[in-house]
Amino acid sequence: MVTIVVPGYSAHNKEWLEETTANIKTEGEIRPIYWGHWNDPSVKFDPLEKAQLLDGISGKRVVNIVAKSIGTLVACHLIQRNPEKIRKVILCGIPLNDLMEDSKEIIKAAIKNIQPENLICFQNDEDPHGGFDALKGFLSGVGTDINVVSKPRTDHEYSYQSEFNKFLLG
Protein backbone atom coordinates (compact mmCIF):
# COMPACT_ATOMS: atom_id res chain seq x y z
CA MET A 1 0.00 0.00 0.00
CA VAL A 2 1.05 3.58 -0.64
CA THR A 3 -0.37 6.76 0.85
CA ILE A 4 0.03 9.66 -1.56
CA VAL A 5 0.02 13.17 -0.10
CA VAL A 6 -1.02 15.70 -2.75
CA PRO A 7 -0.57 19.41 -1.89
CA GLY A 8 -2.12 22.60 -3.17
CA TYR A 9 -0.71 24.65 -6.02
CA SER A 10 1.34 27.40 -4.38
CA ALA A 11 4.79 26.84 -2.94
CA HIS A 12 3.72 27.63 0.61
CA ASN A 13 1.89 24.26 0.52
CA LYS A 14 5.29 22.57 0.82
CA GLU A 15 5.11 23.12 4.59
CA TRP A 16 1.69 21.41 4.77
CA LEU A 17 3.00 18.58 2.59
CA GLU A 18 6.02 17.94 4.79
CA GLU A 19 4.09 18.30 8.05
CA THR A 20 1.37 15.95 6.85
CA THR A 21 3.84 13.40 5.48
CA ALA A 22 5.83 13.42 8.74
CA ASN A 23 2.72 12.90 10.87
CA ILE A 24 0.76 10.33 8.85
CA LYS A 25 0.71 7.00 10.65
CA THR A 26 -0.34 4.25 8.28
CA GLU A 27 1.16 1.07 6.91
CA GLY A 28 3.15 0.99 3.70
CA GLU A 29 4.97 3.76 1.89
CA ILE A 30 4.04 7.39 2.42
CA ARG A 31 4.75 9.38 -0.73
CA PRO A 32 4.78 13.20 -0.68
CA ILE A 33 4.27 14.87 -4.05
CA TYR A 34 6.37 17.97 -4.77
CA TRP A 35 5.26 20.11 -7.70
CA GLY A 36 7.93 20.97 -10.27
CA HIS A 37 6.66 24.54 -10.70
CA TRP A 38 7.60 25.31 -7.10
CA ASN A 39 11.25 25.47 -8.20
CA ASP A 40 10.84 26.15 -11.90
CA PRO A 41 7.99 28.48 -12.93
CA SER A 42 8.26 27.29 -16.53
CA VAL A 43 6.97 23.83 -15.53
CA LYS A 44 3.34 23.47 -16.64
CA PHE A 45 0.78 22.33 -14.07
CA ASP A 46 -1.85 20.06 -15.59
CA PRO A 47 -4.00 18.16 -13.04
CA LEU A 48 -4.79 15.31 -15.43
CA GLU A 49 -1.12 14.87 -16.34
CA LYS A 50 -0.18 14.91 -12.64
CA ALA A 51 -2.77 12.20 -11.95
CA GLN A 52 -1.28 10.03 -14.71
CA LEU A 53 2.14 10.39 -13.07
CA LEU A 54 0.70 9.44 -9.67
CA ASP A 55 -0.98 6.42 -11.22
CA GLY A 56 2.43 5.32 -12.49
CA ILE A 57 4.05 5.93 -9.10
CA SER A 58 1.48 3.80 -7.30
CA GLY A 59 1.58 1.00 -9.85
CA LYS A 60 -0.69 -1.88 -8.88
CA ARG A 61 -0.57 -1.08 -5.16
CA VAL A 62 -3.61 -0.14 -3.08
CA VAL A 63 -3.68 3.64 -2.58
CA ASN A 64 -4.70 6.03 0.18
CA ILE A 65 -4.88 9.69 -0.82
CA VAL A 66 -4.56 12.80 1.34
CA ALA A 67 -5.08 15.88 -0.83
CA LYS A 68 -5.41 19.62 -0.30
CA SER A 69 -6.80 22.38 -2.53
CA ILE A 70 -6.01 21.82 -6.24
CA GLY A 71 -4.49 18.52 -5.14
CA THR A 72 -8.09 17.37 -4.61
CA LEU A 73 -8.69 17.71 -8.35
CA VAL A 74 -5.50 15.76 -9.11
CA ALA A 75 -6.66 13.10 -6.64
CA CYS A 76 -10.07 12.89 -8.32
CA HIS A 77 -8.46 12.41 -11.73
CA LEU A 78 -6.43 9.55 -10.17
CA ILE A 79 -9.60 8.04 -8.68
CA GLN A 80 -11.27 8.19 -12.10
CA ARG A 81 -8.34 6.36 -13.70
CA ASN A 82 -8.32 3.41 -11.28
CA PRO A 83 -11.11 3.49 -8.68
CA GLU A 84 -10.59 -0.17 -7.84
CA LYS A 85 -7.17 0.43 -6.29
CA ILE A 86 -8.25 3.33 -4.08
CA ARG A 87 -8.65 2.47 -0.38
CA LYS A 88 -9.28 5.70 1.55
CA VAL A 89 -9.46 9.33 0.47
CA ILE A 90 -9.11 12.53 2.47
CA LEU A 91 -9.98 15.73 0.60
CA CYS A 92 -9.13 19.03 2.29
CA GLY A 93 -10.21 22.47 1.14
CA ILE A 94 -11.76 21.64 -2.22
CA PRO A 95 -11.33 25.01 -4.00
CA LEU A 96 -14.85 25.33 -5.42
CA ASN A 97 -14.49 29.08 -6.03
CA ASP A 98 -11.47 28.48 -8.28
CA LEU A 99 -12.62 25.52 -10.38
CA MET A 100 -14.23 25.46 -13.80
CA GLU A 101 -17.47 23.51 -14.16
CA ASP A 102 -15.79 20.60 -15.97
CA SER A 103 -13.34 20.20 -13.06
CA LYS A 104 -16.23 20.24 -10.59
CA GLU A 105 -17.90 17.47 -12.58
CA ILE A 106 -14.70 15.39 -12.40
CA ILE A 107 -14.74 15.75 -8.62
CA LYS A 108 -18.39 14.68 -8.43
CA ALA A 109 -17.81 11.70 -10.71
CA ALA A 110 -14.77 10.56 -8.73
CA ILE A 111 -16.57 10.86 -5.41
CA LYS A 112 -19.32 8.61 -6.75
CA ASN A 113 -16.65 5.92 -7.28
CA ILE A 114 -15.66 5.85 -3.59
CA GLN A 115 -17.72 4.15 -0.91
CA PRO A 116 -18.89 6.85 1.55
CA GLU A 117 -17.14 5.15 4.49
CA ASN A 118 -13.82 5.43 2.59
CA LEU A 119 -14.06 9.18 1.96
CA ILE A 120 -13.85 12.18 4.26
CA CYS A 121 -13.76 15.86 3.35
CA PHE A 122 -12.45 18.62 5.62
CA GLN A 123 -13.65 22.10 4.75
CA ASN A 124 -13.07 25.21 6.83
CA ASP A 125 -16.30 27.13 7.48
CA GLU A 126 -15.08 30.27 5.73
CA ASP A 127 -12.32 28.99 3.47
CA PRO A 128 -11.73 31.82 0.96
CA HIS A 129 -11.58 29.23 -1.85
CA GLY A 130 -14.98 27.79 -0.92
CA GLY A 131 -16.48 27.38 2.53
CA PHE A 132 -18.22 24.52 4.26
CA ASP A 133 -21.75 25.53 3.23
CA ALA A 134 -20.74 25.82 -0.43
CA LEU A 135 -19.17 22.36 -0.34
CA LYS A 136 -22.19 20.81 1.39
CA GLY A 137 -24.42 22.29 -1.32
CA PHE A 138 -22.09 21.10 -4.08
CA LEU A 139 -21.96 17.55 -2.69
CA SER A 140 -25.71 17.34 -2.10
CA GLY A 141 -26.06 16.57 -5.82
CA VAL A 142 -23.69 13.62 -5.65
CA GLY A 143 -26.24 11.34 -4.05
CA THR A 144 -24.07 9.60 -1.48
CA ASP A 145 -23.76 10.17 2.25
CA ILE A 146 -20.36 11.86 2.33
CA ASN A 147 -18.73 12.75 5.62
CA VAL A 148 -17.89 16.46 5.41
CA VAL A 149 -16.18 17.82 8.51
CA SER A 150 -16.65 21.51 9.21
CA LYS A 151 -13.79 23.38 10.87
CA PRO A 152 -14.25 26.84 12.45
CA ARG A 153 -11.56 28.63 10.47
CA THR A 154 -11.49 31.46 7.96
CA ASP A 155 -8.40 30.34 6.04
CA HIS A 156 -7.20 27.63 3.66
CA GLU A 157 -4.99 25.80 6.17
CA TYR A 158 -5.66 22.12 6.90
CA SER A 159 -3.35 20.79 9.62
CA TYR A 160 -5.63 18.09 10.97
CA GLN A 161 -3.17 15.21 10.92
CA SER A 162 -4.51 13.49 14.05
CA GLU A 163 -7.94 13.32 12.42
CA PHE A 164 -6.35 12.12 9.16
CA ASN A 165 -4.73 9.28 11.11
CA LYS A 166 -7.93 8.32 12.88
CA PHE A 167 -9.67 8.02 9.50
CA LEU A 168 -6.82 6.18 7.72
CA LEU A 169 -6.33 3.70 10.56
CA GLY A 170 -10.07 3.15 11.15
The tally of domains found in the chain comes to: 1
9 pLDDT tier (thresholds 50, 70, 90) = very high
Question: CATH code at 76?
Answer: 3.40.50.1820
pTM: 0.97
Residues 38-90 have pLDDT tens digits of 999 999 999 999 999 999 989 999 999 999 999 999 999 999 999 999 999 99
- From first CA to last CA, the distance across the chain in angstroms is 15
Average pLDDT of the chain, as a whole number: 95
Could you list the residue range(s) of the whole structural domain that residue 122 is in?
Answer: 2-169
Q: 86: burial class by Cβ within 10 Å (0-12, 13-18, 19+)?
A: buried
